[in-house]
Structure 1
Amino acid sequence: MSRPKGKYAWTVTVGEKGQIVIPKQAREVFGIKPGDNLILLGDEERGLAIPPKSEITKFISAVFETEQDK
């Protein structure tokens, strides 16, 4: 079974301090560098998500956009 293009799945282990290590391939695919800040989203029914920073920036901009900005 081949994976769909652009779709990935990785596993991580949660350490004693609640920390996870983002796999190297994931960091490379999404351009995550040391010192980057990430947003962790959670939904009790659907789980956790760490969306790409570029998508969050677009979302935040849209939330705060006013009619005058258009």
Structure 2
Amino acid sequence: MPGGKHVLGQGKNRIFGTAKVGDRGQIVIPQEARRFYGISPGDTLLILGNEASGLVVTRPEILNDLADEILGKEEHKT
């Protein structure tokens, strides 16, 4: 990989590197991760977290699909 960067974990879970928080609270997602997940400038990402586990960055559609699945099942119960 360019610049001696490595993608760790080639299975289901991957580590793409680290990101420093800038003065304005912004981070840069590593290029390899942006390419792998098809993240482009202007895309919206969802930030989730809890005290014990930390942060998760994902696409909002992930939760929309989950909500549709849960709510769809709930509709059939009534």
Query: Normalising by the residue count of structure 1, what TM-score does the alignment of the two structures yield?
Result: 0.76
Equivalent in the alignment of 2:29: 22
Q: Which sections of structure 1, spanning at least 5 residues, go unmatched? A: none
Aligned match for 1:8, one of 14, 17, 22: 14
Secondary structure of 2:28's match? coil
Higher strand share: 2
Computing the radius of gyration from Cα coordinates, the structure with the larger value is 2
Shift of 1:52: 4.0
Cα distance in 1 for partners of 2:60, 2:38 equals 9
Higher helix share: 2
Equivalent in the alignment of 2:66: 59
Shift of 1:31: 1.1
Paired residue total: 67
RMSD (Å) for aligned C-alpha atoms: 2.0
Q: Which sections of structure 2, spanning at least 5 residues, go unmatched? A: 1-7
After superposition, the C-alpha distances for 1:14-56 in whole angstroms (9 at most, x for unaligned) are 0001000011111111111111100000101110001244422
4+ residue segments displaced more than 4 Å: none
Shift of 1:11: 0.5
